[in-house]
C-alpha cells in the first residue's frame, strides 16, 4: 500500500520507467514472446516452459473459425453499417458470452463437479463421469464444452491434447474431461469434445482462475475479427444483406508449413 488514493499491482509507471509486474518493459521486448508477457501481465509472473507452450497454443487454436460464429457475423454486420474497426471488433467481443467462448469456464465448473464426486465418493474418474452426465441430464442441463454443430472430431482438441502429451502435461481436469468424452461415447450418444471444453480443462490444470478463462478466448479471436472487419470494409458493399450460412471460401488453397 502507498499513501496515494489507490494502488494497482500490475504496472508501475514513472517518468523514467514502465515496469510490468516489476519487469522493465524494454527488457521483455525482444526477449519474451507475446504469450509469455500475456501470462505475466494477467497471472503476475513469467510462465515456465510448458505453460508458455500451452498458452501459445491456446492463443493460436481459436484465432478464427470463419464467418459463422456469432461474434464474426456481428462484426461483419456492424462493419457494413460504416462503423470503424474498433467499434466493429468491440461488437464482436460483446457476443462472447455463456454459449460462445463461455463454455471454457462452464466446462471447468462441470469438471470441478466431477472431480468433487471422485473425492467425496471415492469413485474413479470414469464412474464419476457417468454419474455427472446422469445428474446434469436429470437437471435438464448440458455439459458445456461438449457437442459441435460442424465437427464430429474437433481437430483443435486433438492437437491441444497431443501437445499436452508431448510435454507431459496432465492434471485432474484433463483426466475428468477425457473421462466425460469416454462416457458420452460409451453411452451410444458420442459428443464432440470441443475446443472450449478442452481449453477449460487445460487452463484449469494450469491454475487459471475461472473468471479469467474467457479472456484467453477473447485474446485469441480478436485478430480473426480484425481480419473479417477489414475484408468486409475492403471487399463488400455497405449495408449488404449478410446470409448467415450461404457463403464460400475463395482464399489460398490448402498449403502446409513443411
Instruction: Summarize as ranges the residues that interact with ligand COA (CB under 6 A).
Output: 99, 103, 142-149, 191, 194, 196
Q: Give the residue with the Cβ less far from ligand COA, 39 or 146.
A: 146
Q: Give the residue with the Cβ less far from ligand COA, 147 or 171.
A: 147
For residue 20, with 0-12 CB atoms within 10 Å meaning exposed, 13-18 middle and 19 or more buried, which class applies?
A: middle
**Can you give the C-alpha Rg of the chain in angstroms?**
21
Q: Give the residue with the Cβ less far from ligand COA, 31 or 98.
A: 98
Q: Give the residue with the Cβ less far from ligand COA, 99 or 247.
A: 99
Q: In angstroms, what is the minimal distance from the CB of 139 to ligand COA?
A: 11
Angle between helix 195-205 and helix 172-186 axes, rounded to 10 deg: 150
For residue 113, with 0-12 CB atoms within 10 Å meaning exposed, 13-18 middle and 19 or more buried, which class applies?
A: middle
Q: Give the residue with the Cβ less far from ligand COA, 148 or 182.
A: 148
Q: In angstroms, what is the minimal distance from the CB of 99 to ligand COA?
A: 6
- Look at the block and give the residue holding cell 481437430: 155
Contact 196, 144 (CB under 8 A): yes
For residue 146, with 0-12 CB atoms within 10 Å meaning exposed, 13-18 middle and 19 or more buried, which class applies?
A: buried
Q: In angstroms, what is the minimal distance from the CB of 191 to ligand COA?
A: 5
Q: In angstroms, what is the minimal distance from the CB of 73 to ligand COA?
A: 15
Distance CA 111, CA 114 (A): 5
Q: In angstroms, what is the minimal distance from the CB of 219 to ligand COA?
A: 17
Nearest to 195, CA basis, from 228, 136, 148: 148
Which residue, judged by CB position, is nearest to ligand COA in the bound state? 147
Amino acid at each position: 500500500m502507498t499513501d496515494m488514493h489507490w494502488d494497482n499491482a500490475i504496472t508501475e509507471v514513472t517518468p523514467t520507467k514502465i515496469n510490468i509486474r516489476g519487469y522493465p518493459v524494454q527488457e521483455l521486448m525482444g526477449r519474451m514472446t507475446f504469450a509469455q508477457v500475456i501470462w505475466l501481465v494477467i497471472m503476475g509472473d513469467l510462465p515456465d516452459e510448458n505453460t508458455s507452450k500451452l498458452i501459445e497454443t491456446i492463443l493460436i487454436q481459436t484465432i478464427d473459425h470463419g464467418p459463422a460464429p456469432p461474434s464474426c457475423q456481428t462484426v461483419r454486420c456492424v462493419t457494413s453499417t460504416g462503423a470503424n474497426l474498433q467499434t466493429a471488433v468491440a461488437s464482436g467481443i460483446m457476443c462472447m458470452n455463456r454459449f460462445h467462448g463461455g463454455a471454457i469456464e462452464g466446462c471447468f465448473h462441470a469438471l470441478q463437479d466431477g472431480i468433487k464426486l471422485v473425492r467425496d465418493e471415492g469413485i474413479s474418474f470414469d464412474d464419476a463421469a457417468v454419474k455427472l452426465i446422469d445428474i446434469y441430464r436429470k437437471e435438464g442441463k448440458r455439459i458445456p464444452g461438449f457437442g459441435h454443430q460442424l465437427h464430429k472430431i474437433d481437430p483443435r482438441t486433438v492437437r491441444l491434447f497431443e501437445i499436452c502429451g508431448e510435454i507431459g502435461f496432465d492434471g485432474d481436469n484433463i483426466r475428468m474431461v477425457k473421462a466425460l468424452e469416454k462416457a458420452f461415447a460409451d453411452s451410444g450418444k458420442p459428443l464432440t469434445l470441443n475446443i472450449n471444453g478442452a481449453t477449460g480443462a487445460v487452463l484449469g490444470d494450469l491454475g487459471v482462475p475461472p473468471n479469467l478463462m474467457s479472456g484467453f478466448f477473447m485474446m485469441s479471436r480478436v485478430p480473426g475479427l480484425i481480419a473479417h472487419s477489414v475484408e468486409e470494409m475492403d471487399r463488400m458493399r455497405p449495408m449488404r444483406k449478410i446470409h448467415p450460412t450461404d457463403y464460400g471460401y475463395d482464399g489460398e488453397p490448402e498449403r502446409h508449413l513443411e
